[in-house]
Amino acid sequence: METLSEQRCHGGVQGFYRHDSRACGGPMRFALYLPPQSTQRPCPVLWFLAGLTCTEETATIKAGAQRLAAELGLALVMPDTSPRDTGFDGATGDWEFGEGAGFYLDATQAPWAARFRMRSYVAEELPALLAAQFPVDTSRAGIFGHSMGGHGALTLALAYPQRYRAVSAFAPIVAPSRVPWGQKAFARYLGDDPRAWSGYDACALVRQQTFPGTILIDQGEADRFLTEQLRPELFEQACAEAGQSLVLRRHPGYDHSYWFISTFINDHLRHHAKALGL
């Protein structure tokens, strides 16, 4: 574990770290906010998964979550969105695929399968590392994210419904198998057979396994990606058919940016805090 930086923030510590990852076959970075309560006891963990082109710094700096997290006693974990410096042809130069666009899946196709294993990293390796080295209680966890990270949060929560006590998302990609972003990435990471994609599609997953709690989604109606890439109505329909409790809030005038996220971030923190018993 390498400490890149640590700063005091709202009585706690905002840190940035790097370590060698077995799942991703190389160095990975993450951000961790420890609230002031962590000096007295291990704190519950809230995972935030960022979107396309983002890093572990994006939400950490832009979302403004630390102030309320400090009041609630929530530890915040922001992983990077993919491995870096892979050297794979095609891994850079396209913001919709490769480095910065790991889609929180475990790739099965060469060469991506050797490094792009973000589901295993987020769900298994990084929680174990955090529990061993920081005062956090990873058995009490919630997960949320934005756009591609909203897709990651929904699919991880639905794939591991006993691992997370709450889930929410900002402007998530809910049906990647049916929109250009997902089709482009899934074909390269997982192969051409769409049947192999269903385990990473929230609309397909919720029909197989509901989440034992209410899913909260916020979507801006001025989001330029709304009709082509995000399509929240598809998840709304899938949840209705599956009997999944869902609160989908649509906000006129709000776009896809972190101005939107920072406006409603406190609602999400409280959603998770309630489920975590804070």
Catalytically active residues, by annotation: 147, 223, 256
**β-bridge mates for residue 218, sequence order:** 170, 249
CA dist 8 and 36 (Å) reads: 10
Phi-psi region of 203 (alpha: psi -120 to 50; beta: other; left: phi over 0): alpha
DSSP states of 119-147 = HHIIIIIHHHHHHHHSSEEEEEEEEEEET
What three-state secondary structure class fits 84?
A: coil
Q: Say if residue 128 is exposed, middle or buried (CB neighbours under 10 Å; 0-12, 13-18, 19+).
A: exposed
Beta strand 75-79 pairing with 26-34: antiparallel
CA dist 61 and 65 (Å) reads: 9
Phi, psi angles (nearest 5°) of residue 25: 65, 30
Tell me which H or E stretch contains 62. helix 58-62
Residue pointed to by tokens 């695929």: 97
What three-state secondary structure class fits 15?
A: strand
Cis peptide before 44 (omega within 30 of 0): no
